[in-house]
């Protein structure tokens, strides 16, 4: 269990990336959802001991995350947002190298660890190939393999599905879903479906603030009955936005379909729909923006 209290961080340029963040993150998959610039990477890097917080605390079971960095690193698996690979090295060789860095000094044992991980992420068949020739999805699966070396208790993956095509993304998420339930896995993402598909617990973060945390299904239940949909003409959009709380607009067959949050039917032509996590997400973001304005 990871307990984060009043965690704050302001960069030298004055950007307040984390504003007194409080989160209780249980074992299992936890989705940290927020738009670009929300502070997700700042939080991930702090938990991964790569940068200092200004104040607050983070406790992973008995480990004081902010103070006892060595202890964190022994139990941490981290896939950073900008995970680079050496293009001219094979998957097997680089994983072997990472395993040696993680403390697997005995070559026999290391070989077993590397073999098991390559199989787990389905890269065994291409283990001799150079990483430079890997697709985005293969590279991310390699990234997960290196994060899982040494059976970590805390796994942090920062925006891992950005840029993957749907099939690769699916494959990657399935792989994440297979990580044991005794591990804290934090998945940071700006893609709502990543969380819907995979995470029994989540938080929404924007401008360094946690807007909501808990179970996605409960969050969806809280807006149930208040989400309405209508297909509209393009030139009606501005009027609608001025009149009601428009959550999202999406083109379907070239025509805008709007989702609106309202306690009762907001107008002619609207139909009630069953809410999704995306409605919760956009609702929270728009509430937060309205508050800040």
Contacting positions for ligand ADP (CB under 6 A)? 11, 13, 15, 17, 34, 36-42
Token pair of 241 as six digits: 């936005």
Q: How far is the CB of 147 from ligand ADP (least distance, A)?
A: 18
Cross-strand bridge partners of residue 106: none
Parallel, antiparallel, or unpaired for β 154-158 and 184-189?
A: parallel
161 in Cβ contact with 173 (< 8 Å): yes
Strand-pairing partners, residue 30, are 186, 201
Nearest residue (CB) to ligand ADP, 46 versus 248 = 46
Give me the least distance between CB of 157 and ligand ADP, in Å please: 12
Radius of gyration of the chain measured on its C-alpha atoms = 21
Between CA 183 and CA 193, with CA 187 as vertex, the angle to 5 degrees is 125
Q: Kindly tell me which of 48 and 117 has the beta carbon lying closer to ligand ADP.
A: 48
User: To the nearest whole angstrom, how small is the minimum distance from the Cβ of residue 93 to ligand ADP?
Assistant: 31
Beta strands in the chain (DSSP E): 2-10, 16-25, 28-33, 55-60, 63-64, 76-79, 154-158, 184-189, 201-206, 209-214, 227-231, 245-252, 255-261, 271-272
168 Cα distance to chain centroid? 16
Q: Between 38 and 65, whose beta carbon lies closer to ligand ADP?
A: 38
Nearer to ligand ADP, 44 or 176 (CB): 44
Least Å distance, CB 48 to ligand ADP, is 12
DSSP type of residue 102: T
Minimum CB separation from ligand ADP for residue 42, in Å?
Answer: 3
| Residue 130 DSSP code | B
- Give least dist CB 116 to ligand ADP, A: 31
Report in angstroms how near the CB of residue 15 gets to ligand ADP at its nearest: 4
**Cβ proximity to ligand ADP, 24 vs 51, nearer residue:** 51
The DSSP letter of residue 159 is S
209 or 278, CB closer to ligand ADP?
209
Taking the least distance from each CB to ligand ADP, the nearer of 38 and 76 is 38
67: helix, strand or coil: coil
């Amino acid at each position: 269990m990871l307990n984060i209290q009043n965690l704050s961080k302001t960069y030298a340029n004055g950007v307040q990336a984390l504003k007194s963040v409080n989160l209780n993150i249980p074992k299992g998959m936890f989705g940290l959802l927020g738009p670009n610039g929300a502070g997700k990477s700042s939080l991930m890097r702090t938990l991964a001991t790569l940068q200092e917080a200004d104040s607050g605390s983070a406790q992973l079971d008995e480990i004081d995350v902010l103070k006892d960095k060595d202890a964190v690193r022994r139990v941490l698996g981290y896939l950073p947002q900008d995970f680079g690979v050496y293009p001219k090295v094979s998957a097997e060789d680089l994983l072997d190298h990472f395993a040696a860095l993680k403390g697997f000094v005995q070559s026999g044992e290391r070989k077993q660890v590397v073999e098991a991980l390559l199989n787990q992420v389905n890269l065994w068949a291409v283990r001799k190939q150079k990483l430079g020739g890997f697709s985005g999805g293969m590279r991310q699966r390699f990234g997960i393999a290196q994060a899982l070396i040494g059976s970590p208790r805390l796994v942090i993956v920062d925006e891992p599905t950005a840029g993957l095509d749907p099939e690769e993304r699916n494959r990657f998420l399935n792989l994440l879903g297979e990580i044991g339930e005794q591990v804290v896995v934090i998945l940071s993402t700006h893609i709502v479906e990543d969380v819907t598909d995979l995470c029994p617990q989540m938080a929404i973060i924007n401008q360094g603030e946690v807007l909501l945390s808990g179970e996605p299904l409960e969050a969806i239940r809280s807006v149930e009955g208040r989400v309405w949909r209508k297909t509209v003409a393009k030139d009606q959009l501005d009027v609608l936005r001025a009149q009601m709380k428009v959550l999202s607009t999406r083109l379907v067959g070239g025509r805008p379909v709007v989702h609106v949050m309202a306690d009762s039917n907001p107008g002619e032509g609207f139909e009630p729909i069953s809410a999704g996590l995306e409605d919760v997400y956009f609702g929270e973001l728009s509430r937060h923006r309205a508050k800040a304005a």
